[in-house]
Structure 1
Amino acid sequence: MNSVTVVESLGGVNGYFLHFLAAALLVALFCVIYVRITPYPEFKLIAQGKVAPAVSFAGALLGFAISLASAIAHSVSLLDMLVWAAVALLVQLLVFLVLRLIFADLSRAIAGDMLAPAILLGALSLAAGIVNAACMTY
């Protein structure tokens, strides 16, 4: 039987905090970049009680977070994790930009609180995040 002491178990706590802090900063960075590329003010609209911007933003955020979690779990170093986190961020931005090209009124519809386009964007962002995360298991 392998007896591991509490001190030995806590040996990785520095790496944990370093990755957790980096992940928190990356999530904040993602939020800042994402709301800047969208032509409507998500947080203002959400504060007004509009559901569509919350749904689309939540899907993008969850898609990024799932990919980020995979990057953390499968990276070999902090730098490796940061590189793959950047890939995850780019994938989420590309999902929005491609859908915006396909659906010309996407941004206006979401800003106008139309739920169907927001659900589509949120679901595709989440799907892209899940697939992206799976691809990071190299």
Structure 2
Amino acid sequence: MTLDFGTFLNGAIHFIIAFGLACLFLAVFKRLYQISTPYDERTLIASGNPAAAIALGGAIIGFALPLASALSVTADPVEFAAWALLAGVIQIGAALVVRRFIVRDMVRRIEEGNVASAIYNAATSIGIGLLNAASMTY
């Protein structure tokens, strides 16, 4: 079997564009998620707060899951961007619902380093991300 350089080059260009867009959306999501929380993850994590790191890590994984799904169902960058935007809104919305209605003192718990609450928060983000990803079929 021989390598068709033209086919490889075309695939490599598609890969670079898709991967670059996914990384960009992940970075933007992370920043918007941090803006949406009433606590400063960067400061909490820098001071050694594991709860903040776990909660943020869960949110990042929770968003990466639907990004991966969107990459697998579309080759169009505009359609991928639309799926990424929808997934981000759902992820941030779900986190807001958890903080405002389900665990009303989640902010205090995260700021105090409550690891159990952070794991619940991260698991919820990942669970929503899985559902988000699975729903991107049509």
Which bin holds the TM-score, normalised by the shorter protein? over 0.9
Q: Which residue of 2 aligns with 1:108?
A: 108
Instruction: State the distance in 1 between where 2:133 and 2:8 align.
Output: 27
After TM superposition, the runs of 4+ consecutive aligned structure 1 residues lying more than 3 A away are none
> How much is the aligned-residue C-alpha RMSD, in angstroms?
1.4
- Residues 46-85 of structure 1: pairs in structure 2 closer than 5 A: 46-85=45-84
Say which SS state the counterpart of residue 25 (structure 1) adopts. Answer: helix
Inter-partner Cα distance in structure 2 for 1:15 and 1:66: 20
Query: Residues 38-67 of structure 1, C-alpha deviation per residue, up to 9 Å, x if partnerless?
Result: 011111111111100011111110010011
Q: Which residue of 2 aligns with 1:9?
A: 8
Q: Hey, what does 1:28 align to over in structure 2?
A: 27
- 2:67 and 2:94 map into 1 onto residues whose CA distance is 16
Unaligned runs of 5+ in 2: none
The Cα of 1:77 is off from its aligned counterpart by: 0.7
Alpha-carbon separation, structure 2, partners of 1:21 and 1:3: 28
* 2:121 alignment counterpart: 121
TM-score under structure 1 length normalisation: 0.93
Give the CA deviation at 1:29. 0.4
> Number of matched residues?
137
What residue is the counterpart of 1:43 in the other structure?
42
Query: What is the CA distance between 1:137 and its match in structure 2?
Result: 2.4
Within 2, Cα distance between the matches of 1:96 and 1:123?
Answer: 11
**Runs (5+) with no aligned partner, structure 1:** none
